[in-house]
Homo-oligomer: A and B are copies of this chain.
Amino acid sequence: MPKVLVTISTGFEEIEAITIIDVLRRAEIEVVIATINDILTVGANAIVIQANQYLKDINPLDFDMIVLPGGGINTQNLASSTLVQNSLKQMKEKDKYIAAICAAPYALHTANVLNRNYTCYPSFEEKIRQDGYQGDKQEVVIDEKIITSRGPATAMTFALELVKILKDENTYQKVKAGLLVKSS
């Protein structure tokens, strides 16, 4: 069973975090929610979720993928946390998958793990770089093992792409149908 580490902090965007976790678990992917703050972590819209573990007690290399949900304050926290930044660098070095949505690609940028092509919540490209920024050309940008996406409205497509990467087309189609996502 693939293993995914979803890393959060105070101010995480709730739709993004929960959509990622829910969709991956529907695909029978093991998800551990790791926090750098309290186990009961408060999101950007004051929704409190219970993390499974503290990031400091986890070896990120036990996982196939690390995923960062967005939220402005969460992104600042993840970008300024040595623990998160080192985890990202370790994952990159070992050629593991790294994914981020919304403002959170900025925390990949500060860890120097973004590849050339990426997307993010509009305006955060000004803090990252214009070169390689794909805007809304695609809802999800996959550049080798770095996967990025734009915001709450693209979170389900993003999570489903992660399912396709970690499992297979059949699981992807099954989970997509269960969610009632229309085939475009």
**Which residues of A are interface residues toward B (Cβ below 8 A)?**
13-15, 18-19, 21-23, 25-26, 33, 40, 43, 45-50, 121-122, 150-154, 156, 179-182
Contact = CB atoms under 8 A, between A and B. Distances in A.
Contacts of A179: 15, 151-153
B50 A22 contact: no
A180 B19 contact: no
A contact face: mostly helix, strand, loop, or mixed:
mixed
A22 B14 contact: yes
A7 to B, nearest CB: 15
Contacts of A21: 14, 45, 47
Contacts of A40: 50
Contacts of A182: 153
Contacts of A46: 25
A180 B156 contact: no
Contact of A50 (B50, B122, B152, B154): B50
Contact of A180 (B18, B22, B43, B150): B150
Given A152-B180, A153-B156, A182-B153, A48 B49 contact: yes
A175 to B, nearest CB: 10
Given A151-B180, A179-B153, A25 B45 contact: yes
Nearest to A43: B22
Contacts of A154: 180
A182 B137 CA distance: 13
Contacts of A45: 21-22, 25-26
A9 B40 CA distance: 19
A23 B19 CA distance: 14
